[in-house]
Amino acid sequence: MKKSIDDLAIFGGSPSFQEPLHVGRPNFGDRSRLFERINDMLDRKWLSNNGPYVQEFERRVADMIGVKQCIALCNGTIALEIAIRALELKGEVILPSFTFVATAHALQWQEITPVFCDIDPNTHTIDPACIEKMITPRTTGIIGVNVWGRPCDIEAIEKIAAEHHLKLLFDSAHGFGCSAKGKMLGGFGNAEIFSFHPTKFFNTSEGGAIVTNDDALAKKIRLMKNFGFSGYDNVVYVGTNGKMNEFSALTGLTNFESIDRFISVNSMNYDSYRCELNHIPGISLIQYDKQEKCNFQYIVLEIDEANTVLSRDQLVDILCAENILARRYFYPGCHKMEPYRSYFPHAGLMLPETEKLTKRVLSLPTGTAVSSDEIQKICQIIRLSVSDGYETTKRMQGKFIVEPPSDAHSFKNLPIMASA
């Protein structure tokens, strides 16, 4: 264990981890069951086009969250794009800037203007009070994002959507297996989308889904995901290729058999981080409501530089030097990414809480790939770095900054020119 800041890798000490420790390393279910299903798929010679594993996966998801319809898709971004088109959104759609850029791109891709709304700093989700200010005659919908698996103020947003006759879509890419007021995410608004990307606690190797209780909407989405085909040689609608394949579906079914274990490990990791980080000045771990179902898949800190002296970005540099590849979610905010920063150069003036949060948030590794001993090491590095924030900051100034590597497996400290 490191004794002083002299032992930190950023100041010449040895990295705490020989191999990079990632945020979002995939969880895996039972490999023998996975290979059994793969062999069965190969024997059937049915790899795509609504195969039996996809159909079973859709039923399993719908049953778990208590909705009438689940349409499995190739990824969460295509799920967003198809849901947006199926809901016939146009003009302007209100959404938070504090989200993964795919939420905004799915609109812009279809020439719909994303209107960025500020967040509630306590929940990190879209602020209903701010939504009202963003509505114009061109507004056709709202996208609420359930960040970290913690739900938006769904009731308030549904009320606003109803009063203004707006479509309501929820991006629940983080929210699979979570609930809001005792009801599973997936059954709110006109539809919700999930992501089953490998970085999510529950993955299908790659995949996504749209879930809804609207049978007519589901029928339209099923046409749209398969080029508009209704039976053989009968195209009745404009569509694309958004289908989930059999391998992804059988991976999901195998992971379903371990989903309780994944959540249990995440919950224990969260508790370990909470105990280890407790009482470190300026370091706060986001809170989950244990009265709700939760996947605990994100370990998210807020760094209060006024108390740590050390900035969030400096702490990221320190951790990266130790081969702990901490992430700055969702930095710097969609409104500061292209093409949005060119289209809306002054959007930040309407997003003060978003601007603050993107400078404070840091995400740490968790999941089945992370042990309690590794968590203890990570937290010890944070504690050590903050224990004398003035000295740590002083020594970092003008020395170097470590950037996350393009090839994490060949990670090295990257010297940068000294700052003025």
Domain for residue 419, yes or no? no
Please identify which residue in the block is written with the tokens 């759609």: 93
Q: Are 12 and 53 in a shared domain?
A: no
Sign of the dihedral through C-alpha 188, 193, 199, 205: positive
Write down the pLDDT at residue 397: 86
Residues 78 and 167 in one domain: yes
Same domain assignment for residues 91 and 63 = yes
In this prediction, residues 116-121 reach a mean pLDDT of 98
Residue where the block lists tokens 């969460």? 76
| Rounded Cα–Cα distance for residues 412 and 407 (Å) | 10
Instruction: Answer yes or no: is pLDDT of 67 > 60.
Output: yes
Task: Indicate the residue among 210, 240, 256 that finishes a domain.
Answer: 256
Determine contact, residues 325/410, Cβ cutoff 8 Å. Answer: no
On the question of pLDDT at 403 being above 80, the answer is no
Residue 61 domain-assigned?
A: yes
Same structural domain for residues 135 and 273?
no
Q: Is residue 354 part of a domain?
A: no
Residue whose C-alpha is closest to residue 218's, from 82, 102, 48: 82
Verify that 300 and 234 share a domain, yes or no: no
Residue 341 lies in a domain: no
Of 286, 223, 295, 287, the closest CA to residue 65 belongs to 295
Q: Which residues, listed in sequence order, are joined to residue 235 by a DSSP beta bridge?
A: 229
CATH of the domain at 298: 3.90.1150.10
Domain boundary among 202, 226, 256: 256
pLDDT given at position 398: 63
d(CA 167, CA 39): 43
* 214 located within any domain: yes
Evaluate if residue 411 carries a pLDDT over 80: no
Q: Do 167 and 86 share a structural domain? A: yes
Closest CA to 37 of 205, 228, 223: 205
In a shared domain, residues 188 and 297: no
Q: Given 195, 225, 256, which residue is the final one in a domain?
A: 256
Instruction: Please check whether residue 331 lies inside any domain of the structure.
Output: no
pLDDT in tens, 243-300: 999 999 999 999 999 999 999 999 999 999 999 999 999 999 999 998 999 999 999 9
Crossing angle of helices 259-277 and 372-387, rounded to 10°:
30
Q: Tell me whether residue 413 is in a domain.
A: no
Residues of the domain holding 134? 31-256
Residue 180 and residue 240 in one domain: yes
337 domain-assigned: no
What predicted TM-score, i.e. pTM, was given to this entire model?
A: 0.91
Q: At what angle do helices 372-387 and 312-321 cross, to 10 degrees?
A: 130
Q: Whole-number mean pLDDT of the chain?
A: 93
CATH assignment of the domain containing 176: 3.40.640.10
Would you put residue 386 in left (φ > 0), alpha (ψ -120 to 50) or beta?
alpha
Claim to verify: residue 271 and residue 296 sit in the same structural domain? yes
- Reduced to 3 states (helix: H, G, I; strand: E, B; else coil), residue 162 is helix
**Could you tell me if 273 and 252 lie in one domain?**
no
Residue 142's pLDDT is 98
pLDDT bracket for residue 225 (50, 70, 90)? very high
12-39 pLDDT tens trace: 999 999 999 999 999 999 999 999 999 9
Does residue 413 surpass a pLDDT of 90? no
Contact by Cβ (8 Å): 240, 225: yes
Number of domains within the chain: 2
Residue identified by tokens 């000045």 is: 281
Instruction: Examine the domain organization and report whether 308 and 269 are in the same domain.
Output: yes
Same domain, 216 and 93: yes
